């Protein structure tokens, strides 16, 4: 996928998403604040374009998009379900559909748990402890929706 995990632009973007001001990012990397600002504008555009491309490829109608947080909320046309597309620094671009799963018997149970907890940590969100990925996702994405609406 497009995510330039090794590029400074992406590192700047992740640090800003974590709340670090541009001036601190500039100091950390030994570059000007203007260079950071230009890189972030470019990265925001790339993130937005990729989120929209993923939405189109997955036939998801866009309801809300926040390129600075790397989150798109929408509705899947074929599945008739709410969907979220998000950028995880650790797991890359991800698409999640709202669903009631048979998580206990699913072979991807651990992958889902890890993805959700990792993304909650990246977004600095505290979640209730649970073993059910569906419930974790509902809580996580509910908090993310509030976060995006506040912005």
Question: pLDDT tens digits, residue range 79-107?
Answer: 999 999 999 999 999 999 998 878 888 89
Boundaries of domain holding 13: 8-150
In a domain, 55, yes or no: yes
Residue 79: phi and psi, rounded to 5, are -90, -10
The pLDDT confidence band at residue 2, using thresholds 50, 70 and 90, is: low
Is 28 within 8 Å of 14 (Cβ atoms)?
no
Structural domain count of the chain: 1
In a domain, 2, yes or no: no
In a domain, 20, yes or no: yes
Both tokens of 91, joined, read 């797991």
According to DSSP, the residues that pair with 5 across neighbouring strands are: none
pLDDT the model gives residue 151: 72
Is 117 within 8 Å of 127 (Cβ atoms)?
yes
Residues 9/50/89/72 CA torsion (nearest 10 deg): 120
In a domain, 1, yes or no: no
In a domain, 3, yes or no: no
Mean pLDDT of 52-67: 97
């Amino acid at each position: 996928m497009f995510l330039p995990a090794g590029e400074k632009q992406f590192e700047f973007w992740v640090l800003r998403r974590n709340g670090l001001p541009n001036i601190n990012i500039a100091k950390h990397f030994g570059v000007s604040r203007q260079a950071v600002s230009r890189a972030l504008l470019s990265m925001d555009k790339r993130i937005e374009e990729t989120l929209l491309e993923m939405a189109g490829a997955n036939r998801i109608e866009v309801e809300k998009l926040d390129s600075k947080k790397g989150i798109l909320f929408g509705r899947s046309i074929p599945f008739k379900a709410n969907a979220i597309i998000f950028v995880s620094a650790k797991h890359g671009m991800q698409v999640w559909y709202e669903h009631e799963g048979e998580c206990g018997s699913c072979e991807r149970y651990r992958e889902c748990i890890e993805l959700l907890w990792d993304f909650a940590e990246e977004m600095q969100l505290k979640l209730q402890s649970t073993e059910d990925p569906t419930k974790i996702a509902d809580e996580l994405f509910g908090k993310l929706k509030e976060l995006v609406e506040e912005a």
